[in-house]
């Protein structure tokens, strides 16, 4: 870390946070490609020129948001896989972890869901790259499970992609749902995961 000294750097990063939080707040009601940088600085209580002390562009800020959002996602997936046990319990646990995560990081989840196929190239590619790392991690975890002991690498990846897509989609659905829809969504997600699980058990490996 290239810290010059304490108080200066600390205040700077506080302002940086203020900008990112302001952007996240604004992104609840619009997409990233519709965001203005005067809008962001205004929301953050900062003058327009101040923005350039922290980011070259708005896109720069977007990429920073992606990294932050996916960091918390990574922490989540590790938690979901940590708890080992019978497969059935693992599914319930994973869905619960997702629901908790969405409740705690709603704005981040919304951002990822919204911009995954959004209109800003650099942001979209940043998300794709992070989800790729993510998928690789899941594939590795799957390889360790007895169910998929003798599976080919390609098939492991295929299932990993299915899981990651399903997780992101479930998170996206939860993020814009009220309390009562949440029940319905998680219940469906559990059954879908169970269906996939059944498919895995009877997959003709080779």
Partner DNA sequence: GATTTCGGCAAACAGTTGTTTACTCACTGG
Partner DNA sequence: CCAGTGAGTAAACAACTGTTTGCCGAAATC
Least CB distance to a copy of itself at residue 161 (A): 6
* 36 DSSP assignment: -
Give the angle subtended at the CA of 25 by the CAs of 22 and 28, to the nearest 5°. 150
- Binding partner at 116 among DNA, a copy of itself, none, C-beta below 5 to 8 Å by kind: a copy of itself
Check if the beta carbon of residue 123 is closer than 8 Å to that of residue 32. yes
Give the C-alpha distances (Å, rounded to integers) separating 6 from 11, 14, 22, 160, 190. 9, 12, 24, 43, 48
Shorter beta-carbon distance to a copy of itself: residue 34 or 48: 34
Site for a copy of itself in 91-120 (CB under 8 A): 110, 113-114, 116-120
Least CB distance to DNA at residue 36 (A): 3
Q: Taking CB under 8 A as the rule, does residue 196 contact a copy of itself?
A: yes
Identify the helix (H) or strand (E) that includes residue 12: helix 6-26
Q: Taking CB under 8 A as the rule, does residue 33 contact a copy of itself?
A: yes
* 35 DSSP assignment: -
Site size for a copy of itself, by CB under 8 A?
Answer: 41
Single out the residue of 23, 16, 25 nearest to residue 50, CA to CA. Answer: 16
Point out which residues bind a copy of itself (CB under 8 A).
27, 29-35, 110, 113-114, 116-121, 155, 157-159, 161-162, 165-166, 169, 172, 176, 188, 191-192, 195-204
């Amino acid at each position: 870390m290239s810290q010059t000294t304490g108080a200066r750097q600390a205040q700077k990063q506080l302002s940086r946070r203020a900008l990112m939080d302001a952007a996240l707040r604004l992104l609840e009601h619009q997409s990233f490609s519709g965001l203005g940088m005067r809008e962001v600085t205004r929301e953050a209580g900062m003058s327009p020129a101040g923005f350039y002390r922290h980011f070259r562009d708005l896109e720069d800020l977007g990429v920073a948001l992606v990294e932050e959002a996916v960091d918390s996602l990574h922490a989540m997936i590790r938690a979901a896989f940590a708890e080992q046990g019978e497969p059935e319990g693992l599914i319930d646990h994973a869905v619960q972890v997702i629901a908790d995560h969405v409740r705690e990081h709603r704005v981040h989840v919304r951002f990822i869901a919204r911009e995954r196929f959004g209109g800003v190239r650099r942001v979209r590619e940043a998300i794709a790259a992070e989800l790729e790392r993510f998928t690789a991690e899941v594939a590795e975890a799957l390889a360790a499970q007895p169910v998929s002991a003798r599976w080919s690498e390609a098939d492991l990846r295929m299932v990993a992609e299915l899981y990651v897509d399903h997780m992101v989609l479930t998170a996206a659905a939860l993020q814009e749902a009220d309390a009562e829809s949440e029940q319905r969504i998680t219940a469906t997600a559990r059954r879908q995961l169970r269906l996939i699980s059944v498919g895995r058990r009877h997959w003709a490996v080779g």
